[in-house]
Structure 1
Amino acid sequence: MRDPDLWHPTRALRAVAREAILPTMRPMYEYIAGLDPASTVLVASGLAFGPRLAQERLGFRLATVHLQPTLFMSAHDNAEMGPVKAPDWLPVGFHAWRLAQVERRFVDPLMAPDLNTFRAELGLAPVTRIFGRWMHSPDRVLGLFPEWFAPSQPDWPRNLTLTGFVDHRDDDAPLGPELEEFLAAGEPPVVFTPGSANLHGARFFAAAVGAARRLGRRAVLLTRFREQLPAELPPGVLPVAWANLPRLLPRAAAMVYHGGIGTLAQTLNAGIPHLVVPFAHDQPDNANRLIRLGVGDRLGVRGLTAARLAAKLDRLLTDPAVAARCADYATRVDYARSARETCDVIEAL
């Protein structure tokens, strides 16, 4: 979290690989090796290599879980990855070639040396196309997002089931008394957060405070790292270290955030407009999908100013068509049904 590269459009994957994906591969595998493959089903993110290796080497059954559609790397979908999005009008064959080059020139050189070294120790042959092919379990793949958010594509895994957004919270904590008092004292506020893991959001919050002041809107600033906030906050702007989003967002006017898939799902469920300031990872693609649904807009980090943020927010907050589409999609989020279907798929293994 302290590494600013975690939020860089081109260096973020390298930071995640170096700090999370590759160092956890061996200890995950070694832990799983102590379990009984005859009575154990593994459920793991595609970025968790240890369970995938345990499936290959030890015979465990595995359901690979993807929270966001970008990791399917589809030539038909043309998701935005990195700082440049290829034009949609280019032929599918070109997109397929481009994705293969991304893997061959960037992803595999980053992942394959450590992965294939460990595979050799386990007596497994080396692999390539790690993201595009290898990380998806041949047993079952789950997409925890709905078809209306990201329609299935011809080159996605054939054993894929889309079950919908799943609420990952383990409690229903009430809002704190200070936040409750603030919400009751005036109009619904705009909620701003650059992500719970973001330690580098000072520019984001400066623009947020400026935009709220320009619009005459109340605001809630969500961050555990108070040092990111301006030294002095105007009246009507409340900093909060943490809040239960399902309780907060239905009482908010809009959500301005990084575009993380969990926050995105909670905002859709609340039926309020999205304004996404994507930094890296799946965030630009998520923002584009929200725009296609008609429930939000995006503003790049490089163009992030109080004036631009205020202009985008004002349009979203005053457009009745946006409000109608937000209300419509809120009715389509069904956490309970998605959880049941997800468990059914896993238990079928």
Structure 2
Amino acid sequence: MATFLLTADGTHGDVWPFIRLAEGLGRRGHEAVLFSHQAYADTAARAGVRLVATDTAEEYERLLDDHRDVLLNVLTSVDRVVDFYHRNGIFDQIRAEYEAMAELARTRPAGEVVLVGRHMSRLSVLLGREALGVPAAWVCGYPQQHMGASLTQRLYPRGLADPMNALRGRLGLPPVTDWGTWLSGVDGCVCLWPDWFDTAGDPAPAGATRAGFLLNDAAETGPLPAAAAALVAPSQPRPILVTAGSGRMLHRDWYATAVAAVAEIGRPGIVVCKYRDLLPERLPPGLHWFPALPFATLVPKVAAVLHHGGILTSARAIRSGTPQVVLAHGVDRPDNARRLRRLGLAEWLPAARWTTADVAALLRSVLAEPAYRRRAIDLAPGTDSDAALDTACQALETLLGRTPTAPAPTRAPATRTATDLSPERAALLRRWLDQRSTRRRGNHAEAAVSDDEVRRRLDAGR
């Protein structure tokens, strides 16, 4: 029996697949321990998974509230993300998680421990790979995670490098200067989407395992409460399901726009949202609010799903043969929405185009055109979560007994000398040096090529 130490943060779309993964590894005879939010302890317990809480329920709710604006605006406000890390004690959490993992790992036989983390967010697995000499793997829940790797790498020189290196120093590890190499320094990568979803956009990294969507049916199956069951009774017109996931990281106009569009087309609607304050004070007639419902039971019974573009909601709709309309804003959602549209499964709009009339028009389109439902039914067999789980577990098992190829590099590559450059690049470098020398002598005449342009051309290999 081997030991897999898994760690994940986020909301249902991030954590539920890790619970399923830990459950699958346990059924294959391994010890699987999940480090995650206390809020998921009950879900993990029902799956027979041991969860080590990384926070309290109250701390988790504060984190979700803080997520709301900061991480949605990461592309325009990197400094706000840096403040978010400091404000929420992320580095203290990384250290505590690493130490708990290390305590377990050191009591297990050599070659029988693997660390598994949510892609580029659970950095305790990288610390463990270096300090303990055990293999580590990233798990990508959606394509944008690997596509956004360069953005993650940018965060560290902008304010996260010093606290991370201070943490490393306390653990006896040298400082990192080449953040891109360190953050990608794992022994395997598992992507939780199928090949056909991969081909609809930028592909997964070379060498990664594309396992498939990992839905947590046990957490999403169960009887509907009487009020919801009455709305999807065979004698009633099928309602529209309106949902924007299990967190608070959402455009402030999302629910107001969505419910107005459903009311515009005159269809009944079921609104599923944990947080009542995200909704309009009064819902239009015919729309009914529930804080939570079992989607595996509900989604096959609705006419369409109007949602935010989360990967698990998208996959659930495909598996249920249900058309989709996506109002996508922030993080992975626009990329997921584009893939769904290219696959003929959905229509979508970015936030700049959200109007009641436009969203209502898309709802009418997917309801009237049977091709959307037919396409979802055709692809539903490609959402086999049991097969995806087997593939993911097998990929992680291949890491057992593997010694990390080398400690992740912690130094930037050596600077090349002028003799390493092509004649064209050497001439460009000389021109830049002449330009800087002229500036130092006090002559500030405008140069033909700016410093930034020279650096860009050199970096590009010109």
> Same fold by TM-score, threshold 0.5 exceeded?
yes
Look up the match of 1:2: 65
1:124 aligned counterpart, secondary structure? coil
Q: Over residues 95-115 of structure 1, what are the superposed CA-to-partner deviations in whole Å (9 max), with x where a residue is unaligned?
A: xxxx86x56654642543332
- Choose which of 61, 64, 75 in structure 1 pairs with 2:138: 64
Deviations 1:187-221, CA, capped at 9 Å, x for gaps: 11111112211275652222222211221111111
Match of 1:44 in 2: 117
Matched residue SS, 1:192: strand
**Change in 2 beyond 3 A, CA 1:278/1:234:** closer
Cα distance in 2, alignment partners of residues 150 and 141 from structure 1:
15
- More deviation, 180-189/111-120: 111-120
Alignment identity in percent?
31
Contact kept? 2:91, 2:167, Cα under 8 Å: no
Residue type of the alignment partner of 1:25: I
2:97 to 28, 32, 43: 28
Q: 2:168 corresponds to which letter in structure 1?
A: R
2:242–2:259 CA contact under 8 A, matched in 1: no
1:166 aligns with 2:214: yes
Query: Which is further off, 17-26 or 178-187?
Result: 17-26
Give the total of aligned pairs: 322
> What secondary structure, in the 3-state scheme, does the structure 2 residue paired with 1:332 have?
helix
Q: Determine the structure 1 residue equivalent to 2:293.
A: 243
Determine if the alignment matches structure 1 residue 208 to structure 2 residue 258.
yes
Q: What is the CA RMSD across the aligned residues, in angstroms?
A: 2.7
Instruction: For 1:182 and 1:298, locate their aligned partners in 2 and report how far apart those are by CA, in whole Å.
Output: 26
**2:260 and 2:284 in contact (8 A); partners too:** no
Partners of 1:136 and 1:157 within 8 A in 2: no
Note closer, same or farther for the CA distance 1:2–1:106 as it changes in structure 2 (3 Å cut). same
Tell me the distance in 1 between the aligned counterparts of 2:204 and 2:226: 50
Aligned equivalent of 1:92: none
- Does residue 314 (structure 1) correspond to residue 364 (structure 2)? The answer is yes
Kindly provide the amino acid, as one letter, of the partner of residue 2 in structure 1. D
Alpha-carbon distance change, 112 to 71 in structure 1, aligned in 2, over 3 angstroms: farther
Residues 248-284 of structure 1, C-alpha deviations (whole Å, 9 max, x = no match): 1111111111111121211221121222222211111
Cα distance in 2 between the residues matched to 1:273 and 1:128: 47
Equivalent-residue separation in structure 1 for 2:363 and 2:131 (angstroms): 52
Q: Provide the residue aligned with 2:393 in structure 1.
A: 343
Shift of the alpha carbon at 1:333?
A: 0.9
Distance 1:217-1:9 versus aligned 2 partners, 3 A rule: farther
Structure 1 residues 308-317 or 166-175, which shifts more? Answer: 166-175
Unaligned segments of structure 2, at least 5 residues:
1-63, 401-462
Structure 2 counterpart of 1:26, which letter?
R
Residue 57 of structure 1 aligns with an amino acid whose one-letter code is A
Distance 1:155 1:223 in 2: 31
- The match for 1:139 is 187
Distance, in Å, in 2 between the alignment partners of 1:20 and 1:295 is 41
CA distance in 2: counterparts of 1:149 and 1:205, whole angstroms: 27
Q: Contact 2:126 / 2:186 at 8 angstroms: preserved in 1?
A: no
Measured in 2, the distance between the counterparts of 1:23 and 1:276 equals 37
Report the alpha carbon displacement of residue 166 of structure 1 after superposing the two structures with TM.
0.9
Provide TM-score, normalisation by structure 1: 0.82
Of 382, 385, 396, which residue of structure 2 is paired with 1:332?
Answer: 382
Q: 1:57 to 1:332 in 2, by over 3 A?
A: same
- TM-fit CA distance, 1:247: 0.9
CA distance in 2, matches of 1:191, 1:122: 49
Bigger CA drift: 143-152 or 52-61? 143-152
**Which residue identity lines up with residue 62 of structure 1 in the other structure?**
A
**Cα contact 2:115–2:128 (8 A) shared by 1:** no
Structure 1: state its 5+ residue gaps. Answer: 74-80, 82-98
